[in-house]
Each structure stands twice: as structure tokens, then as C-alpha cells.
Structure 1
Amino acid sequence: MELVLFIGLQGSGKSSFFRERFAATHVHVSKDLWPNARRREARQRRLITQALAEGRSVVVDNTHPLIEEREPLIAIAREHGARVVGYVFESDLKVCLERNAGRVGRARVPEKALHITWRKLKWPSYAEGFDALFHVRLAPEGGFHVREWREGDESEPVRGPDA
């Protein structure tokens, strides 16, 4: 049983990656599924706790830019004896803005939200309590390239619109 945290900007491929790699095996928890709900954070924690208590693995498909946002979720996983795995999505702001511009309806987020997340984004480290970390990059031919996160990856810059 595991708790998987996705980390990266809106439009970096997180939800597509979930559908491709985890939809058949993990419970999908995302605040995007309840855009108008009140107390979304409490609801998310309740659903994660419930799934882990039932022995089911969970993917939390949100941006998780800050250590402080990841910390309580890692604590919930530890309380239930779950392995904690992070997938860090390459988050080039320009590319994510372009991908977001192609979205329709509620799937499209305000550009301001991407800029805010980009400014806050702090790469994870094993010291936070992750059992495994992976780097995910969209492949030019489609799909994803995944490799193990290497010590020092967290010092790589997050590219902005002028990179």
C-alpha cells in the first residue's frame, strides 16, 4: 500500500500520468474534482485516510508546491503504514502555460494560478519522508519519461517563461 504525491505545475501532465499509470490500481484524490467544495483540504485528508485505512493505495493529484503542504499527507501515510512515493513533474512555466491554454472549461486554470504555483514550487527531498522519488518529463513523442530522482535534483532550477 502506498501514498503517491504528484508535485508540479498545473499543465505539467500529472492527471494524464495518473490515467496512464495508476487509474487501475490507485484511488484518485484531487481537489480539482471538487472545485466548488468548501473545506477541500479537510475533504482530501478524509478521503486519503479512508482509502489507506481500507488498505487501498492512493494518488494525490495536486500541485503540492510546498513542503508544508506535503508534510501532513506524508504523516497520514505513516500513520497507516503506507509507503510514500513522490513523482516530480518537470515544470517549465512556458510549456505549462501553453498546455493550459489548450484546455477547455473547468480544466483550464487562470494563468495567475500557474504563476503563483511556479513562484512557490520547492522540489522535494528524501528528508521529507519519501521512500522513493521519481522525475517525470513529458516525452516529445507522447507519453512520459520517468527516472529515479537523484540527490541534487532539488537544486535544479524551475524554468520560467524566459528560460
Structure 2
Amino acid sequence: MDLVLFIGLQGSGKSSFFRERFAATHVHVSKDLWPNARKREARQRRLIAEALARGDSVVVDNTNPLVEDRAPLIAIGQERGARVVGYVFESDLETCLARNAGRVGRARVSDKAIHITYRKLRWPSYAEGFNALFHVRARPEGGFDVREWREGDESERVRRPDA
């Protein structure tokens, strides 16, 4: 049983990656599914805990930019005995803005929101409690390249946001 956390900007390919790799096997939890709900954080945590209690693997499809955003989710996974896995999405700002511009309706977020997430984004570390970490890059022709994440090589593998 896995708890999978996606980490990356809006428009970096997280939801497409979920559909391609996890839709048939994992429960999908995303705050985007209830944009007007009150207490979205509490709802997200409850849905994750309930799925893991049933023995279901879960994907948390949100930006999860900060250690503080990830910590309570990792704690839930650890408490339920799940393997905690992070997928870090290549987050080139200009590419994400361009992908977002092609979205329609509620799928499109404001450019300001992407810029805010970009400034906040901090890459994960195994020290946070992850059992495995991977780097994901969306291919221009479609599909994804996935590589194991190694501590200390963020600047080589991912365009690191300004710290």
C-alpha cells in the first residue's frame, strides 16, 4: 500500500501523470476536485486516512510545495503503514504557464497562483520521511520520463526555483 505525493507547479503534468500511471490502481485525492469546499485540508486528510485504512493506495495530486504541506500527509501515511513515495515534477515556470494558458474553465488557474507556488516550492528530501522519491519530466511529444531522485542533484535534474 502506497501513499504517493505529487510535488510541482500547476501545469507541470501531475494530473496527466496520474491518469497515465495510477488511475487504475490508486485512489485520487485532489483539492481541485472540491474547489469551493470548506476545510479542504481536513477533508483531504480524512479521505487519505480512510482510503489507507481500507488498504487502498492513494495519490495526492496537489502542488505540495512546502515541507509544511507534506509533513501531515507523510505522517498519515506512516501511521497507516503505507510506503510514502514522492514524485517531483519538473517545474520550469515558462512551460507551466504555457500549459496552463491552454486550459479552459476551472482547470485554468491564474498566472499569479503559479508564480506564488513557484516562489514557495521547495524540493523534497528523504529526511521528510519519504521511502522513495522520483523525478518526472513531461516529454514534449507526450508521455513522461521518470528517474530516481537523488539527494543533492536537484540543480542537474530539475530547474530549481529561486530559494
Instruction: Give TM class, smaller chain.
Output: over 0.9
**Superposed counterparts of 1:5-154, under 5 Å:** 5-154=5-154
**What secondary structure, in the 3-state scheme, does the structure 1 residue paired with 2:47 have?**
helix
Amino acid at match of 2:33: L
Q: Is there any run of 5+ residues in structure 2 with no aligned partner, and where?
A: none
Given that residues 2 and 84 in structure 2 are in contact (C-alpha distance below 8 angstroms), is that contact kept between their aligned partners in structure 1? yes
| In 1: Cα distance, 2:161 partner to 2:31 partner | 25
- Following superposition, the deviation at residue 154 of structure 1 comes to 3.7
Q: How many residues align?
A: 160
Calculate the TM-score normalised by the size of structure 1: 0.95
- Following superposition, the deviation at residue 155 of structure 1 comes to 5.0
| In 1: Cα distance, 2:103 partner to 2:4 partner | 25
Calculate the TM-score normalised by the size of structure 2: 0.95
Given that residues 5 and 61 in structure 2 are in contact (C-alpha distance below 8 angstroms), is that contact kept between their aligned partners in structure 1? yes
| In 1: Cα distance, 2:40 partner to 2:13 partner | 22
RMSD of aligned residue pairs (Cα, Å)? 1.2
Amino acid at match of 2:54: E
Given that residues 4 and 85 in structure 1 are in contact (C-alpha distance below 8 angstroms), is that contact kept between their aligned partners in structure 2? yes
| In 2: Cα distance, 1:57 partner to 1:115 partner | 31
Q: Is there any run of 5+ residues in structure 1 with no aligned partner, and where?
A: none
- Following superposition, the deviation at residue 152 of structure 1 comes to 1.0
Provide, for residues 112-131 of structure 1, a one-character-per-residue CA deviation record: whole Å limited to 9, x for no partner.
00000000000001110000
